[in-house]
Amino acid sequence: MIKLENVGFRYEDMVMNFDLQVAVGELVGIIGPSGAGKSTLLSLIAGFDLPVSGRISIAGADMEGVAPDQRPVSMIFQDHNSFAHLDVWTNVALGISADLKLDPPQRKRVDEALARVGLSDFKARKSTELSGGERQRIAIARALVRDKPVLLLDEPFTALGPALRRDMLDLVREIQKERKLTVLMVTHQPEDAKYAASRIAFVQIGRIAHVLPTKQFFAASAPADIGDYLK
Amino acid sequence: MFRSLTLAIALGFILGAVALGFLPLLWLGLGQGGFHFDDYLPRVVGFTLKQAFLSTLLSVAIAFPVALALARRRFFGREALLKIFSVPLALPAIVAILGIVGVYGNSGPFGGLFSIYGLTGILLAHVFFNMPLAVRLMLTRLEAIPAENFRLAAQLNFSTGQVFRFIEWPQLSSAITGISSLIFLLCTASFAVVLILGGGPQATTLEVAIYQSLRLDFDPARASILALAQLVTCGLLVLVAGQFAREIQVVPPTLAKIRRWDGKSRLSKTMDGLLIAIAVVIVVPPILSVALSGIGNIRPDASLLRATATSLLIGLASASLSIALGWVLAETAARQPRSILKSAITLACLASLIMPPAVLATGWFVTLSPIADMSRYAIFLVIILNALMALPFVWSPLYPAITDSVQRHDRLCSSLGLSGFARLKLIDLPVLRKPLGLAFLMAVIVSLGDLSAIMLFGSDTLVTLPALIFRQMGNYRMNDAAGTALVLAAFCFALITLAQRWSQSHDQA
């Protein structure tokens, strides 16, 4: 579903080079030290950063020259996923149409997405009035109405407590199964990846050092650099 | 003990200066009645507000699309352009006015397009000063927008208009009232611009009318009434502006590099280019004129050397006084959680905004001139007035730094028994070195550029650089004025550059 071949990128002094293949319906965790290039990897796939070399394809289509809004991708950031001065409903509706002219079926889709993430009672609230977890639910609801096959999560739950994080991960996994989404999730908490991901990519100094099934990743037999990071 | 003594002296000094300025006004002004006044006062008040309103409107209306264009675009020379936009803020008013006269005056390259005297000239000069200020303030707001917002906009395929509606406007709208009221306040109390470019009773503001009553017509009674009117106007404005002051505080820029996907169309690019070009045409020619016409005209004769020495002496003395006052007051205010004393101190430091120089000067004039020879004390009065004018600029770097230091060190110091001179030497001076230096430089710059205090109290024997420029312009010795202006501008720039370096290394610490 997602294929990165020899994708090169430069950020200040750091030269990065990524190779990765993700199958349809997979949830792959991406972990590694700070500054290794985890977020850049997602930015490249979403089209916010452009590679200097190599090839990115999604669902078989080459992404070169494809604008961010044309890619079959939704991305959720760690923060600032909603516009503070707009209410919850509008924030989600922007996922369907930026000029906010929605026909009745589209309005229904927004309502359903809000119900799906448990925000039905908060439609008219401003996002600043919501908790951190609820704010991230807005972003998930918007991803639902956008209905793109790939979902990129850039540490969206880092600021939340353990129990809440577990709830959010459950929600993501349910939606992933319902919609057969392909999910890449960057996280700083290895236990989150262990809980949700089927495979884990280990990013170090601008490369994907290992991609292993979750069980093997956390096994004692895992490569030494993974063990060092997890210590 | 020592602290309360110094506090009493500092507060007493400011309150004394203000009372000495205010009470005689009230006495004289109300004694006059002020009611059987002809239409002079309403006309002056009317023009003061009218020019301030139009100046603000024009500055903000131009700055708004320019700031949006600058935030949207990255181009070669952008950093340099932003540096140039900070020049009008650093340039003493009279130097900039000379530059404007050099460009749009009769003998300038754009001469004859319109008359630069009267309302047009005043508006042009105020836009030259305040439009770049507004651009910079708006740009800091726009650059504080999280990079994620633009990524989200790109993913949701926002048009340029939608980026404006959902991202830029919400960010700017709350700042615009604050920026507007700041500019309005600056234009209301503007002295040099109106003194030189305004003309006659049709185009005069309160601040200038006070000066004319005091120094040209020798009519303290009329000056008092004008000063009372100015006090009421500025007091109300400060009250209003204070409501919005919070909103123009500088927001820290986001760390992530902002990339934008909007404004890709040719029309949008052309519009932005055009807007930036208009701003350049407003800002750059007067600056160029100051530099070019000054360069061959610096004649280090006795009057220039004497004025330079006087300017530096007054600058250093008033900055020292301002720092002493500001430091003592900040030390106390930093330790007062929300008390009346704290509000009193803050108000004392902003006194010069509510009571512009001409107002204070009128009162001092009225009180002192019957009992003493004003010319003998003139230099001290200028120093004190400059120190009070600089106090808000001293306060803004000093107060947060001292509050921070107090919170960090007070407990540790008292547990170690560190106090008095030992604490000053070991803790306060090293920690506060940079904000103190910055505050000092700002105070010197304020004093160097001051024209109002020196015009109100100066004489043939007391001439600073701005006063010398004014005299030379008055005698139509424009070349000499250009040379003097360049000297003054060079001093201000050296200090500003130093201050910027200092504040940047301070930020990183």
- pLDDT (tens digit per residue) in B179-191: 898 899 889 888 9
Measure the CA–CA gap between B431 and A36, rounded to whole angstroms. 36
Question: What tens digit of pLDDT does each residue of B402-421 get?
Answer: 888 888 888 777 777 777 77
Provide Rg for chain A, Cα atoms: 18
A-B C-beta contacts closer than 8 Å: 50
8 Å CB contact between B331 and B399 = no
Sequence-ordered list of residues with C-beta below 8 angstroms from that of A224, at least 6 positions apart, any chain: none
Residue B508: pLDDT band with limits 50, 70, 90: very low
- Helix axis angle, B119-143 to B40-72, nearest 10°: 40
Residue B505: pLDDT band with limits 50, 70, 90: low
Q: Which residues pair with A18 in a beta bridge?
A: A7
| CB contact (8 A) between residue A98 and residue B162 | yes
Is A12 in CB contact (< 8 Å) with chain B?
no
Residue B279 has pLDDT above 70, yes or no: yes
Residue B66 has pLDDT above 80, yes or no: yes
Residue B36 has pLDDT above 60, yes or no: no
| CB contact (8 A) between residue A83 and residue B259 | no
* Domains defined for chain B, CATH in brackets: 1-36+299-509 (1.10.3720.10)
Cα within 13 Å of Cα(B79), Cβ side: 1
| CB contact (8 A) between residue A74 and residue B154 | no
Measure the CA–CA gap between B452 and B450, rounded to whole angstroms. 6
Give the closest of B152, B158, B159 to A81, CB-based. B152
Mean pLDDT of chain B: 85
8 Å CB contact between A104 and A172 = no
Give Cα separations from A228 to A18, A223, B409 (angstroms): 22, 9, 39
| CB contact (8 A) between residue A83 and residue B154 | no
Measure the CA–CA gap between A201 and A183, rounded to whole angstroms. 12
Angle (CA) B4 B9 B12, round 5°:
115
The two tokens of residue B340 are: 């009346």
Q: What percent of chain B has pLDDT over 90?
A: 34
Q: What percent of chain A has pLDDT over 90?
A: 74
What is the arithmetic mean of pLDDT over B53-60? 96
Contact residues, chain B to chain A, C-beta under 8 Å? 146, 148-149, 151-152, 154-159, 162, 166-167, 170, 259, 261
Contacting A residues, span 94-133, partner chain B, CB-CB under 8 Å: 94-95, 98-99
Name which of B302-306, B337-341, B440-444 the model is least confident about.
B337-341
Name which of A77-86, A105-114, B446-455 the model is least confident about.
A77-86
What is the arithmetic mean of pLDDT over B465-491? 92
Which residue from A minimizes the CA distance to B145? Answer: A80
Question: What tens digit of pLDDT does each residue of A73-94 get?
Answer: 999 998 888 888 889 999 999 9
Question: What tens digit of pLDDT does each residue of A116-171 get?
Answer: 999 999 999 988 888 888 999 999 999 999 999 999 999 999 888 888 999 999 99
Question: What tens digit of pLDDT does each residue of B308-343 get?
Answer: 999 999 999 999 999 999 998 888 888 877 678 887
8 Å CB contact between A22 and A59 = no
8 Å CB contact between A73 and A36 = no
- Give the model's pLDDT for residue B509: 39
Q: What percent of chain B has pLDDT over 70?
A: 94
Which residue from B minimizes the CA distance to A98? Answer: B158
Burial classification of residue A59, based on how many CB atoms lie within 10 Å of its CB (0-12 exposed, 13-18 middle, 19 or more buried): middle
CB atoms near residue A21 (< 10 Å): 12
Q: Looking at this protein, which amino acid is placed at residue B228?
A: L
> Could you report how far apart the first and last alpha carbons of chain A are, in Å?
33
Residue B400 has pLDDT above 80, yes or no: yes
Alpha carbon of B271: minimum distance to chain A alpha carbons (Å): 23
Measure the CA–CA gap between A58 and A45, rounded to whole angstroms. 8
Mean pLDDT of chain A: 92
Give the closest of A73, A95, A98 to B159, CB-based. A98
Residue B216: pLDDT band with limits 50, 70, 90: confident
Residue B241 has pLDDT above 60, yes or no: yes
Alpha carbon of A221: minimum distance to chain B alpha carbons (Å): 38
ipTM for the whole predicted complex goes beyond 0.85: no
* B327: alpha, beta or left? (left if phi > 0; alpha if psi -120 to 50): alpha
Dihedral, CA atoms, B92, B93, B95, B98, nearest 10 degrees? 180
Residue B34: pLDDT band with limits 50, 70, 90: low
Contacts of B170 in chain A (CB under 8 A): 83-85
- Give the model's pLDDT for residue B112: 73
Mutation for testing the A interface, residue in B149, B155, B257 having most A CBs under 10 Å:
B155
Of A214, A180, A179, A182, the closest CA to residue A196 belongs to A214
A73 SS3 class = strand
Name which of B167-176, B262-271, B368-377 the model is least confident about.
B368-377
- Order of all β-strands in the sheet with A150-154: A61-62, A53-58, A2-11, A14-22, A207-213, A199-204, A27-31, A182-186, A150-154, A73-76
| CB contact (8 A) between residue B162 and residue A99 | yes
| CB contact (8 A) between residue A77 and residue B148 | yes
Alpha carbon of A177: minimum distance to chain B alpha carbons (Å): 23
| CB contact (8 A) between residue A77 and residue B151 | yes
Residue B35: pLDDT band with limits 50, 70, 90: very low
| CB contact (8 A) between residue A95 and residue B154 | no
Give the closest of B149, B170, B261 to A68, CB-based. B261
Is it true that domain A1-72+148-226 has CATH number 3.40.50.300?
yes
Which residue from B minimizes the CA distance to A146? Answer: B156
Mutation for testing the A interface, residue in B141, B145, B150, B152 having most A CBs under 10 Å:
B152
CA B499 to chain centre: 16
